[in-house]
Amino acid sequence: MTSASTSVRPGGTVLVTGGAGFIGSAISPSLAEAFDRVVVVDNLHPQIHESGLRPEQLDLRAELVVADVAEAATWDQVLQDVTPDVIIHLAAETGTGQSLEESTRHTHVNVVGTSQMLDGLNRHHKLPRRIVLSSSRAVYGEGAWQDAEGKPFYPGQRMSATLDQSQWDFPGATPLAMKASETFPAPVSVYGATKLAQEHILQAWSKSYGVETVILRLQNVYGPGQSLINPYTGIMSLFCRMAMGGKSIPLYEDGEVRRDFVLIDDVASAIVAGAFSATVQGEPMDIGSGEFQTIGTAAKLIAEHYNAPEPHVTGQYRQGDVRHAWADISAAQEVLGWSPKFNLAQGIDQLATWIDAQPDVKPA
């Protein structure tokens, strides 16, 4: 692991790709306070931005350029006027299951969008001091497990033949936390593969040109401001809308799937820390809540908030989903001086309170 002690000073210009989305809007106030100029490039995709209008959550001090990061013309337009000191690269198609059916779209946005950005920076001779990449725990796939003798191994992708027989776990094995310095990435979705490609492309390019990189592998991000219309992301908001309508929340597999639900506030503070940390490294770091919860636990807390019926197990499964996923966040704590502040119950309360206050929200 190599690190540098050069710090990114407040002031200057930050450019945020996909910056009108859930995470981008959440970090925009902090960025506007710290930088002289905040420029957001976002195509306002209708799957997330139903109205096609600038989102209210995006800080008014941020300049919004509505354009596609995967088009060379976008970068020629933006970089004529913008000289970024820091880039926060959030732009991505994020649907894990959807990526298996729309692999070209996910690859185009996530991989070509990244390479077009880097080519544009070269073409206009405007290399930033630092790039912060929002990556994903999806790069790990099923991650590492431990056998009965305590030896780590990689079981690989779960197949339909075993899932159809309700064999959810790997017999005799125990899952391990995901840790970038130890866990070998082996994505089981097209989305995960494109996020890993983003990391590799950025690392190779940045090391060649001396650009600092901060790569953050995010676990399951949720919270106020999350899209309520995107059916491919945001299981927590979907659960809230089901419970709001008095429905029993359906639990896939056996309800014991483990996830690391991390509140948007904690993710936002991690990304901002990545932009300003005095110590940076080119290797990925994991961002999560510091603990795992089962899907069943999350659903039960949501049901209790809405006085909805108990969640029920369906035995269904979704291709591309991993069995268990949670992060070892020690590297981010050490390098960035960051730690999460909110537990699951606090986060669900914030999310549900926000959803309840939305004027046009409809039960699912």
Per-residue CA distances from 49 to 24, 46, 66, 223, 362 (Å)? 13, 5, 12, 17, 16
Catalytic residues: 191
SS3 132: strand
If you write DSSP's letter for every residue of 260-273 in order, what string do you get? Answer: -EEEHHHHHHHHHH
Distance from the first to the final alpha carbon of the chain: 46
CA atoms in the 13 A half-sphere facing the CB of 202: 30
* Closest by CA position to 243, among listed 302, 294, 297: 302
Q: Which residues contact 152 (CB under 8 A, 6 or more apart)?
A: 144, 145, 146, 176
The Cα angle at residue 179 between residues 174 and 183, in degrees rounded to 5:
70
d(CA 320, CA 92): 18
Overall size of the chain counted in residues? 364
Structure tokens at 76: 């020629």
- Contact between 274 and 31 (Cβ < 8 Å): no
- Cα(116)–Cα(112) distance, rounded to whole angstroms? 6
CA gap 111, 101 in Å, rounded: 17
Contact 352, 239 (CB under 8 A): no
Tell me how far apart the alpha carbons of residues 171 and 318 are, in angstroms, rounded to a whole number.
20
Strands 258-259 and 293-294: antiparallel
Burial class (CB in 10 A: 0-12, 13-18, 19+), 333: middle
